[in-house]
Amino acid sequence: MNRNPIIPFVLIMVMGIGLMFLLSFKGLGDAKNVAKEQAGGGKTEETTQVNPEEFYQQTCAGCHGNQYEGVSGPSLKGVGSKYSKDEIKGILTNGKGNMPAGMAAGKEEQMADWIVTELK
């Protein structure tokens, strides 16, 4: 009436190895889908219009202040008359000083328009 105690351990090991192979093949399939999406063959980011004021409050206000007065970043009051739209797009894209590059990735055109027209 003695049962072999090694059998449950072997069964668990076999199931674990099988699960590992199953998940590996699943990951390979997902990797192909991700590569297709990054190459532009699948889903792409939506380029919808953003509300520049809301985007500013979510992303920029921490450094430039709620009223554009400047906190750790410079004041944005009068920036629209100081810089051209192309210069502002360049700053949003490449950064300047403590301003990190790419903070408004994909939204540079809309943000530059808003800054030039609203923050004179």
- Residues 82, 56, single domain; the answer is yes
The two three-digit tokens of residue 4, written as one number:
């072999």
67-106 per-position pLDDT tens digit: 888 888 888 888 877 888 898 889 888 888 888 888 888 8
| Better-predicted residue by pLDDT, 43 or 56 | 56
Q: Which residue ranges are tagged as binding site? A: 60, 63-64, 99
> Which residues contribute to the annotated binding site for heme c?
60, 63-64, 99
Domain shared by 77 and 34, yes or no: no
> Which range marks the domain in which residue 3 is found?
1-41
> What's the distance, Cα to Cα, between the start and end of the chain in Å?
91
Confidence (pLDDT) at 26: 87
Mark whether 97 and 74 lie in a shared domain.
yes
Q: Both 66 and 28 in a single domain?
A: no
In a domain, 1, yes or no: yes
Its pTM stands at: 0.58
Of 57, 35, 47, the residue nearest 105 (C-alpha): 47
Number of structural domains found in the chain: 2
In this structure, are 33 and 91 located in the same domain?
A: no
Mean pLDDT score across all residues of the chain: 83
